[in-house]
A and B are shown apart, each in its own frame.
Chain A
Amino acid sequence: MQQLTAFIESRGFKEPFVVMEILDHFACKVEEKLENSPNLTLEDAMHKAHADFGALGFSPISSTYYAYLKKKYKSIYNSQRKKIFTSWFYMPLLAVIGIIIYKAFAWCEINNYRHLFEINDVANSCFLLFFVSSAYLRTYSQDFPKKIDPIKSTILAVDVTLPIGLVFITPHFNKLSERGIAILGTMYALVFVYLCIRHISLHRTLKIAKKEIEETSNNYNNLVA
């Protein structure tokens, strides 16, 4: 098994979960070659078995497996988000937090609490909170293979641009009217709640993915030990 694993890795496939995906089929083919030609060396049997995989070798299995895993974790993320939306615990809690954000934003606007870059203090706090949370999620997923990282692209696309977009709107209104406070306050509350749901879902997805990858890595380490 160690020699088979080393052979697969020598072809450029080093991630444990990809090696494990290829290994069993490759091993069965090698066994077949050795059964049909008992005089064959293991090295020759491995080369012949690898040739049976075609001109592209293990690449089609590897690339479609990566694509499958990426899609799988995206699907898990969507189902986790749906669970939160339909949760009797989370939705009321997030609704209360949303109302608190709205009230706090309105209070800061009315009392002119803008200590950093002329931006509402509540807006700044939300932005800082999500920056810290995004950084934590990035750190949590740093051991992930980049090809299946379920959050790499989404974090930048949504979690940073959305708050930045909102924050840039805010300073343009030096003194917000009552209506302006209501609209902007509601937007901040909704974005805050939405980003909370995203981050909880992302964390849960990462936890599931990490557990699966660790399990595969353990099987792989037992194999090569």
Chain B
Amino acid sequence: MESNQFIKGSLTAIILKLLEDNSRMYGYEMTKAVRELTKEKMNITEAALYPALHKLVDEGLLDTINEMVDGRVRKYYSLTKKGKKEATTKIDALNEAIASVQIILNSKLAYE
């Protein structure tokens, strides 16, 4: 999928948005949510997701909590206070970037 390159650059904003809308999620749930919301048009790979999650936890934007589910340990991620503030900033920044790109793509560019 060509959109996967686009996802790589906006993964942080996507994760923060998902957690903003849902109090807590686990890794597989996030990949499934993205696939379902975009009707299979976008797919977050595990190779991209988990490094991003670890980085966000390290930066203090996410908290983790472990729970036993079906005999295995499930790690849930949720936004910290700092994460909630950062979520708004990053989502707004991404929306602005998308709007700017749309202007360029939708207009007829005459460059002389």
Contact = CB atoms under 8 A, between A and B. Distances in A.
B is bound to A = yes
Interface residues of A, number: 24
B71 A223 contact: yes
Contacts of A223: 71-72
B71 A1 contact: yes
Most buried by B among A65, A68, A216: A68
Contacts of B72: 1, 20, 23-24, 27, 223
Interface residues of B, number: 21
Contacts, number: 59
A52 to B, nearest CB: 8
A64 B28 contact: no
B9 interface: no
A64 B46 contact: no
A56 interface: yes
Interface of B: 26-28, 45-48, 50-51, 54-55, 57-58, 68-75
Nearest to A63: B51
B47 A24 contact: no
A61 B57 contact: no
A61 B73 contact: no
A61 B52 CA distance: 10
B71 A64 contact: no
